[in-house]
Structure 1
Amino acid sequence: MTYRIGIDVGGTNTDAVILDEQFNVLAKTKRHTTADVSKGIYQSMKEVIEASGVPRQDIQYAMLGTTHCTNAIVERKRFNQVGIIRIGAPAAMAVKPMTGVPADLKQKLNQHVYLVEGGHEFDGREIVPFDEEAVYNAARKMKDEVDSVAVTSIFSPVSNAHEKRAAEIIQEVIGSIPVSLSSEIGSVGLLERENATILNASVVNVAEATAVGFMNALEEEGIDAKVFFGQNDGTLMSVDYAIKYPILTVACGPTNSLRGASYLSGKSDALVIDVGGTTTDIGVLIDSFPRESSLAVDIGEVRTNFRMPDLVSIGLGGGTVIRMKDDQTFAIGPESVGYRLPEKALVFGGDTLTATDVVVALGKADIGDPSKVQHLDKMLLTNIYASMIKMAEKAIDQMKTSADPVPVILVGGGSILFPDALEGASEVIKPENFGVANAIGAAIAQISGQVERIYSLNDWGRDKAIDHAKQIAIGEAVKAGADETTCQIVDIEDVPLAYLPGNATRIRVKAAGELAST
């Protein structure tokens, strides 16, 4: 018998589970996320292993969904020293790299910037020849000054020849240094793709330190397991892949919850409400995978265009602070006591009225000491609770694509905040083990690969273009750690681009497969 451990780090709680080969939950734990995120991971892992009684040598897989890289970007800490090369002169000289990026982040990342000649048209034709000598010069200047490099070229999702040659030159001059290529990270749209690539390069060291720390913790527990990281499309990637593309871990927590919700409920198409201690995230399941956003997404106030889940987040969770006013009015959040809920909430002897106190006082949940909230005005609490429900129902309406009611799955430790019926929901499902759906989602996930490219159908033909994209997607899944014999195409999107000549179309393909056994 082989087992797997799944761990997911949230802003308030760090959850862990042990699953058997049939994905049955043998043990689970929920601990408050520590200021030092890694410490919470190790504690959760140790606790769940001891609770399961599973022989350590039989734990073959370990999956981690982590906020390390997200936190680094938001907090502007632990960044790599990044070299930035844009291949696009003279066509792309007017708008400099990191235009529109907050000044504090630009100051940390915008120290070594080089614009060189090259780039392609949408159909793969060179705009101008690639200036290799300029890249050699840039690499010589960056040597000993940077510890990762971000390379972006015009229309590199169509042809990445100039980016790949630049990477070869950089590693020839500098040696073994992480090089992030925009063609492997973002989609069409130069500035947003460049931003995503720069952010990716900036957190390579954070990802590597997290991976090494997690593997060391497993080793200390006597566990020799294959390690995988959660991606933000609800699938997994190998450690090497995660260190190369750490930006793909951003927002993996909500997607783990969506995948876990699908598995626990048996629903492949539904809305999922993931209620944590600080926020409530609402996402959409389509064929058991999270719906992806079609819009550019801001990460740490930086506009990017790499794949992200389509989510609506509201400032409502178990630790959300309720502020009372003299005239019997109130404000719900967005402030939260977060992981300090057990010391700050009234039901635990604290001094802060939280959303958890409201549901306990109204008899809708049994947590802490209900006697500590019995003095509160029940009529006012009823009004507060009704407003909380309205916040969730409004978010449900935002995510629906029609007026028809849809199934809603409630997961997350904070889902005690919501009732068994919500407006806009055909049914409200709160499955067993709902509180650790995120860790379960991380543990059961498949490995995926994705490609997004523009094809000229006059040159390729539609069938040949789609087949080509499928093969690339399967290849990416295999590189990320999937068993090629189990890989299947799970999503295809084909969008004609009328504003480009040559009968152009944008094709996006995702492939997913089971974990490779070797």
Structure 2
Amino acid sequence: MMIRLGIDVGGTNTDGVLMDESYRVITSMKTPTTDDVFTGIQTIIQQFASHPAVNLEDIQVATLGTTHCTNAIVERKQLNRVGVIRLSLPSGTTIPPFLGWPNDLVEALQPEIALIHGGYEYNGEPISHIRHEELDHVIEQMRGKVESIAVCGVFSPVLQDQEKYVVEYLQRAFPNMPISMSSEIGSVGLIERENATILNAALMTTIRQVSQGFRRALKEAGIEAAIYLGQNDGTLMTGDYAEQYPIFTIACGPTNSIRGAAHLSNVDNAIVVDIGGTTTDIGVLVNSFPRQTSLAVEVGGVRTNYRMPDIYAIGFGGGTCVTQQNESWKVGPESVGYCLMQEAISFGGETLTATDVALAVGELEIEGADCSRITEPVHDIYPLFTQLVAEAVDRMKTSATPIPVILVGGGAALMPTVLEGASEVIRPAHASVANAVGAALGDISGTVEKVYALENITHEDALQQAKEEAIEQAVEAGAERSKIEVIELEDYPLAYMPGNAILVKVKVAGPLAL
């Protein structure tokens, strides 16, 4: 029997799940996340090893969803010293790299910056050609001072040739240096794409430690499996691919929950409400995949334009503090987090939490909980919880039409079975570990967002070229070529550009190539 292992490392808990070849859950497990993270992963694996129906040798696929890269940016820790090369001269100098970045994040990267000749017009015509003497100067400038490099050219999503040439030139001088290329990461929009590429380069050491640590944890348990990491479009990528594009792991936690919710509920289109200990993340399922945002997204205070899920977060969860202000009640955003079992009134503490209120009104049952000391008017407070979530769900809807709402996460039981604006409320089996289920699911994706000038190519050829490029991305990330399907194909006219230009967005997905 082939078994899939899915693990999702969150800020409070590390969740694990084992699934059979038919994607049925065999068993699941939760354990507190540890400071070194991998102790938590090892604990999960050791607990699975004691399950009577499980043989660890049957695990052929092991997948990991992790917040490491997000945390590294937010905490400004374990980030590479980055060299930034922009291909833009003689234009593209008005706004320098790192404009608008938080000062402490720039200081953490200790950047070396070089602006050189290069870049393209919107139609692929070169602004100027690459100059070898400039590249040689850049190599000497950065030698011994940087640990990774970000290369970004004007309009490189239209044509990658110059970026590829510069990367190959640098690789001959720095054969072991990780180099990130903007046309493979972001969309049109020089500054946001450059920002995303710099962050990707900064995360190289962090992702390598995560990937190698996961391999180590599996090896020590005697598990020989294909290793994949979750990415933020709800699909997977190989460990090697993740080490090239660590930025794609950012926000993979909520997307894992959305994918897991789709699988556990067998619903393809819905609102997913993932309630944790501190926050609630609300996302949208579209054809079993998370809806992507069309807006620029800030990561650690930096504006970027690479693909990100459309997620709305509110400060509500099982550990949310409930306090009285004047004659009204305030819900969050403060939370006792992982200290719930010590600080909540129902468990002997002195803090009134959302869990206490849900227990007292009878919506939730937890063995060992004692609500007798709760004196607050819980029946007046509890409707505030449902109102918070209902308003957040309404914000994510595109019409007033009721839509299914799927509740997942450790705090899913806080909500009732009826919610305003929902056609039905679904709380599937194994909802508390939906994130680990989503991590274990096996699809691999490829995504392309590219500008084509129709004066140089036909509309049909542009779409076909974008599809082929997306398929190659998926294959490189670990998908089986013969089973890849196009799940999203859109094109938009760019009225502000001459030459009848269009923006093409393509997403493909397929099962793992095992």
TM-score after normalising by structure 1: 0.97
Deviation of the 1:458 alpha carbon: 2.4
Give per-residue Cα distances to partners, 1:113-144, cap 9 Å, x unaligned: 11111100111110111223212211222122
Instruction: After TM superposition, list the pairs within 5 Å mapping 1:223-372 onto structure 2.
Output: 223-325=223-325, 327-371=326-370
How far apart, in 2, do the equivalents of 1:251 and 1:358 lie?
A: 30
Match of 1:117 in 2: 117
Distance 1:477 1:287 in 2: 18
Q: Which amino acid aligns with 1:375?
A: R
- Once residues 331 and 150 of structure 1 are traced to their aligned partners in structure 2, the CA distance between those partners, rounded to angstroms, is 45
Q: Deviations over 1:194-252 (max 9, x none)?
A: 11101111111110011111101100000000000000000000011000000000000
* Mapped partners of 1:39, 1:390: distance in 2: 39
In the TM superposition, 1:179-198 aligns within 5 A as 179-198=179-198
Deviations 1:305-335 (A, max 9, x none): 100000110010111122234x343321112
State the shift of 1:516 in Å. Answer: 0.5
1:348 offset after TM fit, Å? 2.1
Structure 2: gaps spanning 5 or more residues: none
**What residue number does 1:32 align with?**
32
Residue 21 of structure 2 aligns with which residue? 21
- SS state at 1:277 partner: coil
Q: Residues 323 and 331 of structure 2 are in contact (CA less than 8 Å); yes or no, is this contact kept in structure 1?
A: yes
Q: 1:142 to 1:178 in 2, by over 3 A?
A: same
Tell me, in whole angstroms, the C-alpha distance in 2 between the residues paired with 1:493 and 1:308.
17
The two structures, once aligned, show a CA RMSD in angstroms of 1.3
- Select 2:373's aligned residue among 358, 372, 375: 375
Q: Secondary structure at the match of 1:193?
A: helix
Q: CA deviation at 1:367?
A: 1.6
Equivalent positions of 1:408-447 (< 5 A) are 408-447=405-444
Task: Identify unmatched segments of 5+ residues in structure 1.
Answer: none
Q: Which amino acid aligns with 2:314?
A: I
1:92-171 alignment, distance < 5 Å: 92-171=92-171
| Displacement after TM superposition at 1:397 (Å) | 0.9
Figure out how many residues of one structure are paired with residues of the other and give that number: 514
**C-alpha separation in 2, matches of 1:330 and 1:49:** 46
CA distance in 2, matches of 1:37, 1:56: 21
- Paired with 1:174 and 1:145, the residues of 2 have a C-alpha distance of 12
Residue 136 and residue 384 in structure 1: after superposition, are their counterparts in 2 closer, same or farther (change >3 A)?
A: farther
Q: CA 1:117–1:451 in structure 2 vs 1: closer, same or farther (change >3 Å)?
A: same
Shift of 1:110: 4.6
Cα-to-partner distance string for 1:64-104 (whole Å, 9 max, x where unaligned): 00001111011000001111111112211111101000111
- Is the CA contact (8 Å cut-off) linking 1:117 and 1:128 kept in structure 2? yes
Tell me, in whole angstroms, the C-alpha distance in 2 between the residues paired with 1:349 and 1:367.
Answer: 14
Aligned partner letter, 1:311: I
Query: Residue by residue, what CA displacement relative to the aligned partner does 1:364-410 show, whole Å, maximum 9, x if unpaired?
Result: 11125443x3232353x223211111111111111100010001111
Code of the aligned partner of 1:431: P
Q: Following the alignment from structure 1 to structure 2, what is the Cα–Cα distance between the partners of residues 409 and 112?
A: 47
Could you tell me whether the CA contact under 8 Å between 1:259 and 1:445 is conserved in 2? Answer: no
CA contact (8 A) 2:443 2:510 kept: yes
| CA drift at 1:52 | 5.6
Q: Deviation of residue 55 (structure 1)?
A: 1.6
CA distance in 2, matches of 1:285, 1:82: 36
Is contact 1:89–1:117 with CA below 8 Å preserved after alignment?
yes
Query: Displacement of 1:470 after TM fit?
Result: 0.3
CA distance in 2, matches of 1:322, 1:35: 28
SS in 2 for 1:459: coil
1:93 maps to a residue whose letter is: T
Q: Deviations along 1:132-176, whole A, 9 cap, x unmatched?
A: 321221122212211110111101111111111111121111222
Aligned partners of 2:505 and 2:272: how far apart in 1?
Answer: 24
- Distance in 2 (alpha carbons) for counterparts of 1:38 and 1:496: 48
CA distance in 2, matches of 1:216, 1:91: 48
CA distance in 2, matches of 1:85, 1:274: 40
SS in structure 2 of the partner of residue 460 of structure 1:
coil
Q: Percent identity?
A: 50
Distance 1:69 1:50 in 2: 32
- Secondary structure class of the residue paired with 1:413: coil
Conserved? CA contact 1:17–1:26, under 8 Å: yes
| Residue 487 of structure 2: aligned partner | 490
